[in-house]
Amino acid sequence: MASEIHPSAQIDPGARIGANVRIGAFTVIGADVEIGDGTWIGSHCSVTGTTRIGRDNRIVGHAAIGGDPQDKKYHGEHTTLEIGDRNTIREFVTINRGTGDGGSITRIGDDNWLLAYVHIAHDCIVGNGCVFSNNATLAGHVVVGDQVILSGFAGVHQFCRIGAHAFIGMGAFVNGDVPPFLMVAQEKYARARGINSEGLKRRGFDATRIAAIKRAYRTLYMGETKLDEAKVELAEIAAGSEDVRAFLDFIERGERPLLR
Quick check: is 243 catalytic? no
* Of 44, 119, 122, 141, catalytic: 122
- pLDDT digits over 200-209, tens only? 999 999 999 9
What integer is the mean pLDDT of 178-190? 83
* Of 66, 98, 102, 140, catalytic: 140
- Residues 151, 129: Cα–Cα separation, whole Å: 14
Spacing of C-alpha 23 from chain mean position: 24
* Of 123, 127, 141, 145, catalytic: 123
| Between 259 and 67, the higher pLDDT residue | 67
- pLDDT digits over 96-153, tens only? 999 998 889 999 999 999 999 999 999 999 999 999 999 999 999 999 999 999 999 9
Q: Give the chain's mean pLDDT.
A: 94
What's the Cα-to-Cα distance from 215 to each of 124, 161, 192, 196, 237, rounded to whole Å? Answer: 51, 48, 14, 13, 8
Quick check: is 140 catalytic? yes
Quick check: is 122 catalytic? yes
- pLDDT digits over 138-173, tens only? 999 999 999 999 999 999 999 999 999 999 999 999
Bridge partners (DSSP) of residue 119 are 94, 137
With pLDDT > 90 as the criterion, what percentage of the chain qualifies?
85
